[in-house]
């Protein structure tokens, strides 16, 4: 399946008030409910938590002796908020950090673990108090699958193999017994296993040919112990670097389950000027949304190269780092990648998730960067305080699509134009869950105009609208703060009617809606 056809109708400029409704029926979505082919893997809704800044330490892990209320050392407030997201998988320990991580530093009594230097993220001391046991216990508490990213850049195949044996072997080996001595009798089930991260950059600065050889070598020693079955993910490139994907696929596609793709949305003009995460105007709002839509083109490009060697789509594309990346917050520690999270970023999340869902045939795992306090975070903390970001709410609204069947759609959308550029005003995902309920998530990207959208529901006889929720805000740059934590948060949504198989809803400016049909 290729990207859903966007038919852009010419938009007649409307000269009315700021929140005027665009002309009726200009936004139309045909839903072919009887033509579902692909399931939206729950793993598209994965998270990424790296040893970076306050992502783990302070954000998730505070230790049992902390004054901050905790459960076995994990912040209780953060744990509860994350549990509500029903996270399917979490990627750890990096990122760039993974390719300098020695797993042996993070096991055994915490007081005896070595202090090391996190050379990638601020040269800060890593006390290794959060290691393998702590991460895997976190995944248990969240009901998520672990996604371990192994060290190929500076580690050896033997170290990697030992780590797998330590975690997954249930026999009488020295490493399995060491795990038991460290408090874990049963082996863990480890599914997702990344072999290197950005091996073209921070993960070793390799060429595609060299990495392809290393991938083949390392994956040989990524063994399945005691019935565990690893799902092996090769390191891919970012954006439109398709040749890397082609080389690695050509040399090793039959030895992998997935190859990764990273894509960060930069609202500003360049990496050196990414733009602030607060206080921006409509220019950086529009540019951010427009940049996020590039993900669709990049997935198509990598998918096409993968098709050359894998037309049956056995190998998945793992978009295991994505999200908005802005300039760091003024006054924050360099290298900690701290940024606020606005209504714009909520829309970047919904547009990106719509793109990922629409490629459910090839994209079967994705991980937003990152869970807490880093980049496009779900949660921000400050000492004892915690807030849920607008992006958190999008993930909460979109969880209805996890493991649901993607319903094919044709979208006719008006355009949101700004500074001579245009993007579609409407983006949507429609899916049907195991109980037969159809869920629609729909976004209005327009900064100042409402959109009426008609969903023409074909091949289904739904007759009831289940009231939904709406996320919007006073302004494109609205944020949640510790003083005003619910400034951007969902409210109930009932502005939808179902008549003769057509659902009509009105989306306020800069908004996201979820609702059900049965």
Bridge-based pairing of strands 438-444 and 409-413 is unpaired
Q: What is the C-alpha separation between 164 and 446, in angstroms, rounded?
A: 48
Q: What is the C-alpha separation between 87 and 250, in angstroms, rounded?
A: 33
Question: Hey, which residues between 245 and 304 contact ligand AHR (CB under 6 A)?
Answer: none
The Cβ-side half-sphere exposure at 205, using a 13 Å CA radius, reads: 0
Among 96, 148, 356, 394, indicate the residue that binds ligand AHR (CB under 6 A): 96
Q: Which residue is nearest to ligand AHR (CB)?
A: 95
Question: Hey, which residues between 2 and 41 contact ligand AHR (CB under 6 A)?
Answer: none
Q: What is the C-alpha separation between 193 and 231, in angstroms, rounded?
A: 6
Nearer to ligand AHR, 91 or 401 (CB): 91
Residue 320 lies near ligand AHR (rule: CB under 6 A): no
The Cβ-side half-sphere exposure at 156, using a 13 Å CA radius, reads: 4
Residue 197 lies near ligand AHR (rule: CB under 6 A): yes
Residue 46 lies near ligand AHR (rule: CB under 6 A): no
Give, for 168, the enclosing helix (H) or strand (E): helix 157-168
Smallest gap from residue 75 Cβ to ligand AHR (A): 21
Smallest gap from residue 343 Cβ to ligand AHR (A): 22
Residue 126 lies near ligand AHR (rule: CB under 6 A): no
* Residue entry with tokens 């983006």: 427
Residue 88 lies near ligand AHR (rule: CB under 6 A): no
Q: What is the C-alpha separation between 330 and 412, in angstroms, rounded?
A: 41
Q: Which stretch binds ligand AHR (CB under 6 A): 94-102, 133-141, 289-297, 497-505?
A: 94-102
Among 95, 153, 196, 268, indicate the residue that binds ligand AHR (CB under 6 A): 95
Structure token digits, residue 508? 């306020």
Among 94, 390, 408, 509, indicate the residue that binds ligand AHR (CB under 6 A): 94
- Binding residues for ligand AHR, rule CB under 6 A, total 10
Options 198, 251, 338, 449, the catalytic residue: 198
CB atoms within 10 A of CB 437: 16
Q: What is the dihedral of CA 31, 33, 36, 39, to 10 degrees?
A: 90
**Is 198 one of the catalytic residues?**
yes
Nearer to ligand AHR, 61 or 325 (CB): 325
Among 42, 296, 303, 321, indicate the residue that binds ligand AHR (CB under 6 A): 321
Give, for 218, the enclosing helix (H) or strand (E): helix 208-220
Nearer to ligand AHR, 94 or 187 (CB): 94
Residue 198 lies near ligand AHR (rule: CB under 6 A): yes
Smallest gap from residue 202 Cβ to ligand AHR (A): 6
**Is 483 one of the catalytic residues?**
no
Q: Which stretch binds ligand AHR (CB under 6 A): 29-37, 60-68, 134-142, 369-377?
A: 369-377
Give, for 179, the enclosing helix (H) or strand (E): helix 174-181
Smallest gap from residue 274 Cβ to ligand AHR (A): 13
Give, for 81, the enclosing helix (H) or strand (E): helix 76-84
Triad 386, 392, 393: Cα angle to 5°: 115
Bridge-based pairing of strands 46-48 and 89-92 is parallel
Residue 405 lies near ligand AHR (rule: CB under 6 A): no
Smallest gap from residue 416 Cβ to ligand AHR (A): 29
Residue 55 lies near ligand AHR (rule: CB under 6 A): no
Residue 306 vs residues 32, 149, 246, 356: alpha-carbon distances, Å: 28, 22, 7, 17
Give, for 308, the enclosing helix (H) or strand (E): helix 294-309
Among 27, 41, 43, 50, indicate the residue that binds ligand AHR (CB under 6 A): 50
Catalytic center residues = 198, 321
Binding residues for ligand AHR (CB under 6 A): 50, 94-96, 197-198, 321, 369-370, 375
């Amino acid at each position: 399946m290729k990207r859903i056809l966007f038919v852009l109708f010419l938009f007649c400029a409307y000269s009315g008030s700021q929140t005027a409704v665009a002309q009726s029926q200009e936004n139309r979505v045909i839903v072919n409910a009887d033509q579902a082919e692909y399931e939206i893997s729950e793993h598209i809704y994965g998270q990424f938590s790296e040893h970076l800044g306050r992502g783990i330490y302070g954000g998730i892990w505070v230790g049992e002796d902390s004054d901050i209320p905790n459960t076995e050392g994990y912040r209780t407030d953060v744990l509860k908020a994350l549990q509500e997201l029903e996270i399917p998988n979490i990627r750890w320990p990096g990122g760039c950090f993974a390719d300098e991580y020695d797993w042996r530093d993070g096991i055994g009594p915490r007081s005896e673990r070595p202090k090391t230097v996190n050379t990638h993220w601020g040269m800060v001391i890593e006390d290794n108090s959060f290691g393998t046991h702590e991460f895997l216990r976190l995944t248990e508490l969240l009901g998520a699958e672990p996604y371990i990213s192994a060290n190929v850049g500076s580690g050896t195949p033997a170290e990697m193999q030992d780590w797998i044996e330590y975690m997954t072997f249930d026999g009488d080996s020295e490493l399995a017994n060491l795990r038991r001595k460290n408090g874990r009798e049963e082996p863990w089930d480890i599914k997702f296993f990344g072999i290197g991260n950005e091996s073209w950059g921070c993960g070793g600065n390799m060429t595609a040919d060299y990495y392809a050889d290393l991938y083949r070598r390392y994956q040989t020693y990524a063994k399945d112990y005691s019935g565990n079955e690893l799902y092996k993910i090769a390191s891919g490139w970012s954006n439109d670097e398709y040749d890397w994907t082609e080389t690695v696929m050509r040399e090793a596609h039959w030895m992998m389950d997935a190859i990764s793709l990273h894509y960060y949305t930069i609202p500003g003009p360049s990496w050196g000027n990414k733009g602030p995460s607060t206080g921006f105007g409509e220019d950086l709002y529009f540019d951010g949304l427009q940049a996020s839509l590039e993900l669709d083109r990049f997935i198509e490009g990598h998918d096409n190269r993968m098709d050359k060697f894998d037309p049956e789509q056995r190998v998945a594309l793992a978009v295991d780092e994505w999200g908005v990346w802005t300039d760091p917050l003024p006054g924050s520690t360099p290298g900690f990648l701290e940024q606020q999270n606005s209504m714009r970023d909520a829309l970047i999340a919904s547009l990106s998730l719509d793109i990922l869902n629409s490629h459910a045939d090839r994209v079967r795992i994705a991980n937003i960067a990152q869970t807490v306090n880093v980049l496009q975070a779900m949660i921000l903390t400050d000492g004892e305080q915690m807030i849920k970001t607008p992006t958190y709410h999008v993930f909460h609204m979109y969880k209805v699509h996890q493991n649901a069947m993607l319903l094919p759609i044709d979208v006719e959308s008006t355009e949101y134009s700004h500074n001579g550029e245009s993007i579609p005003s409407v983006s949507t995902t429609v899916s049907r869950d195991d109980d037969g309920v159809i869920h629609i998530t729909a976004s209005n990207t327009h900064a100042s105009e409402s959109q009426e959208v008609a969903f023409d529901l074909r091949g289904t006889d739904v007759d009831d609208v289940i009231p939904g929720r709406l996320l919007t805000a006073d302004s494109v740059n609205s944020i949640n703060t510790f003083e005003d934590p619910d400034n951007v948060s969902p409210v109930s949504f009932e502005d939808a009617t179902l008549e003769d198989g057509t659902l009509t809803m009105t989306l306020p400016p800069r908004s996201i809606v979820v609702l059900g049909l049965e």
